[in-house]
Amino acid sequence: MKKFISGIVSLSMLFGSFGLTNVHAAPTVTSGSGFESVWGEFAGSGDYNAYVSENGTDFTKTDTALIRTDGSGNYRVEPLGLKGNTEYTVKVVPVANGTENEAEAFTFTAFSKSYDRSGYAFFGTTNAPGAYLSDGTLPSNADVIYVNDANKNTVSLYGKTGLSNVLDAHSKQSRPLVVRIIGKINASGFSGLDSTKMTETKGTAGLTIEGVGTDASFYTWGIKIAHAADVEIRNITFDTPYEDATEIQESTHVWIHDNTYTQGFQDPPKEYDKNHGDGSCDAKRSDYVTISYNRFTRTAKTCLLGSSAKSREDVGHYSYHHNFFDNAEQRLPRIRWHDVHIYNNYYKNVGYAVGIHYDSKYNVTAHEGDKVGYGIGATCNSSVFAENNYFENTYRPMLTSDKNCGSLSSNDGGVIKAYGNYIDEYSASTMEKKDYFAAPSKDYKLTAADYTCTLGGWTYDNFDTSDKFYTDNYFLETAENCKTTVEENAGSEKNTTGLVLNNAINGSSTGGGGTGDPDDPIDPDDPVDPHPTDPGVNIDCTYYYDFPSSGSTAASFGGENGSGTFFTADKGLSASGKTGTVTVNGKTYTFEGVGGFANNGTIKFTAEKNGTLNIVSCSGSTTQRKLVVTNSAGKEVGTILSGTSSQDSAAALALEAGSYTVTNKGGGEAKLYYIGYKNDGETPQNDEMIGDADLDNMITASDALMVLQYTLAPMTTDANFVKRCDVDKDNFITATDASIILQATLTEKLVLQ
């Protein structure tokens, strides 16, 4: 590699080239480096073609699916499959009526960085896992298809239709395949998913599934790699997976990298411990696997390696490197049977429950923020070399079952050889030294006298000093330096410009086709998104409190437009003069003063209407505070994370009408700039359905007729009739209300919705 992130982004613009003279000034282009890709953004109109060149002379046309617009004149072009560590020139040509206008072509240059191709996935093979060649380019015989939410069931290749069928058919092919994901693909309406909302890929011809740009995601579904070889998955956000986000079983030479994993969600959970989904990136009965440069944010059962203590597996070889375990709970990874090299990972705020835990009888055993997890867990005769990792505020960084720890059950022990790790003071205080062996040098060979497991009698197999180790053939940093590398690079590609792109597919090299909705509407069948922190926060609230810069804060505070009582705290909130700013929907707000919200303190309020709770906050340290929201029955309905001392946070949580309690379970004081509640809609009175004039619990033509009759002769003995039937909310019963109710009978939608 030492091929990692080299070069500098070139932002130079070339306004005349190839012997052409521009008639009009070329647009300003913002350009940048990608991994084995480059990108450029510009303002324009109409259609464009793009061409890419390594030498500035010989140009190859880029698939038109890689040119997208936000619909308002902003464009992004992102050629993929480029050679790493190489500067490229991209030529953009306007197209009118199918004809290129060379006179108004313009160019930009940018540097293509190399992916870090290291770890066990690359051991013992001349092939890089996946469809791409080791230099980042595609072989000439590769198939490429583009998939978005609109064509997930109609995309075709190999005579098969639908993404799941194409992946199944690829198992019988000898040509490599690249599946490029455009935008968000929803599980809703996706044929080919099994009962766990997963699709499966198998085969050995070389497969890469990759996201295009900054917005590619799988929403509430995942992918299983089974009985396969030579597979790569990259640049995908696995958003709210239902079961496993990625699962590897009975496969070899698999590379999972540069993806983002979020917390899973099942409601109700299929099993007592699956309310947060199941594994984020699990593996079993496989060999030569690399899990690298991924970001796991608030994941629960994150990375399980080895299916069970009863199912003995042949020893496989795995690498976990440069992953960001960001507020993740446990299994980072949790290992049975295998030889595992874990290096240059960043563990931040690890080991704390990301939500409620239940036992098999659905009794609550833990709440948000409770200490329940761990970082690396080694059991069942596994050997782990933990090298140059960074542990910050991590509860039990390294753990084995050797002391019969409840978190790892009574499995036989595994051995962790540790060298070069940074473990902060708090993390070190939660770990007993017998949980790992501190090696005096990198190449030290452990003996039975150094460490023998009490449970099972296992000793370290020294795989890291054998001929089944890649020795120096990997990019290794100090623990301190890897923290910065991981923060900057782990996870799927980040949107640095805020451009919201059209996810329609304009074309592809083979297969693909189809069109998407340029406005990307919300699918009415989408499940409710459980994420508590919505970046689209609206802080113009009906009820709110903006904390003062001095003086004390009463236990009861806030009201309509800032007056009266709405929120009630169980203790006074200490006010201070700390100031801060937060940007919401592109607008920057400045706050003067904070309210100190003590650990385990509560704030209660009752919302008469459905709406949104909004909190702008920080903490006094680098640790976020967990603000858990429960309803009147004590059931957790969501969590809001505060910002840190260096980064304020604005967060929102959608709620139904009712009474709620916000509890600070973050282990320290939160600092509130602002707390508010936005009324988003009406709530039925006396459980009556809006628009149901005759109170038969249905919306029919009779309701419309009854409302129309009322407009002619206002007679009714029903006290709630006017409130229930004023569906357009103009404070009058008119023919318009009758018309809206009649339309509802035709569309089979309740007026309330």
Q: How far is CA 256 from CA 249, 372, 417, 458, in A?
A: 13, 27, 24, 30
174 in any annotated domain: yes
Written as six digits, the tokens of 61 are 């046309």
CA gap 713, 316 in Å, rounded: 81
79 shares its domain with 156: no
Helices (H), 465-557: 479-489
Q: Are strands 346-348 and 324-326 parallel, antiparallel or unpaired?
A: parallel
CA gap 84, 92 in Å, rounded: 21
Model confidence over 736-751: pLDDT tens digits? 888 888 887 775 444 4
404 shares its domain with 553: no
272 shares its domain with 184: yes
Cα torsion through 210, 212, 213, 219, rounded to 10: -70
Close Cβ partners of 95 (under 8 Å, ≥ 6 residues apart): 46, 47, 48, 49, 101
* End residue of a domain, out of 112, 146, 165: 112
Among the listed residues 509, 449, 512, the one whose alpha carbon sits nearest the alpha carbon of residue 146: 512
196 shares its domain with 226: yes
CA gap 711, 699 in Å, rounded: 18
457 shares its domain with 571: no
204 shares its domain with 253: yes
CA gap 633, 93 in Å, rounded: 61
CA gap 595, 297 in Å, rounded: 28
Q: Is residue 52 classed as helix, strand or coil in its secondary structure? A: strand
* End residue of a domain, out of 112, 147, 162: 112
525 in any annotated domain: no
pLDDT computed for residue 405 by the predictor: 57
Among the listed residues 314, 306, 242, 305, the one whose alpha carbon sits nearest the alpha carbon of residue 278: 242
Looking at the DSSP bridge assignments, the partners of residue 612 are 654, 678
pLDDT computed for residue 533 by the predictor: 36
647 shares its domain with 665: yes
CATH number of the structural domain spanning residue 39: 2.60.40.10
pLDDT computed for residue 524 by the predictor: 36
Q: Are strands 670-679 and 587-597 parallel, antiparallel or unpaired?
A: antiparallel
Three-state secondary structure string covering 246-258:
EEEECCEEEEEEC
CATH number of the structural domain spanning residue 573: 2.60.120
516 in any annotated domain: no
pLDDT computed for residue 384 by the predictor: 98
Number of H helices, E strands in the chain: 6, 54
Cα torsion through 389, 390, 393, 397, rounded to 10: 10
Q: Is 267 exposed, middle or buried (0-12, 13-18, 19+ CB in 10 A)?
A: exposed
164 shares its domain with 225: yes
pLDDT computed for residue 531 by the predictor: 34
Model confidence over 491-532: pLDDT tens digits? 999 988 888 888 988 865 544 333 333 233 333 344 433 333
44 in any annotated domain: yes
Written as six digits, the tokens of 617 are 């906050």
674 shares its domain with 699: no
CB atoms closer than 10 angstroms to residue 12 = 9
131 in any annotated domain: yes
* End residue of a domain, out of 473, 489, 505: 489
8 in any annotated domain: no
Question: Number of structural domains, the chain?
Answer: 4
pLDDT computed for residue 730 by the predictor: 74
Which residue segment(s) compose the domain that 632 sits in?
Answer: 543-679
616 shares its domain with 592: yes
CA gap 112, 306 in Å, rounded: 37
697 shares its domain with 668: no
CATH number of the structural domain spanning residue 735: 1.10.1330.10
CATH number of the structural domain spanning residue 428: 2.160.20.10
Residue type, 434: K
Low-confidence ranges of the chain (pLDDT < 50): 1-23, 510-535, 550, 682-686, 748-753
Encode burial over 596-613: b for 16+ CB neighbours within 10 A, e otherwise: bbbeebbbbbebeebbbb
Encode burial over 519-536: b for 16+ CB neighbours within 10 A, e otherwise: ebeeeeeeeeebbbbbee
Q: Is 737 exposed, middle or buried (0-12, 13-18, 19+ CB in 10 A)?
A: buried
519 in any annotated domain: no
What is the maximal distance between C-alpha atoms in the chain? Answer: 96
535 in any annotated domain: no
CB 677, CB 543: distance < 8 Å? yes
280 shares its domain with 211: yes
Written as six digits, the tokens of 672 are 């509130």
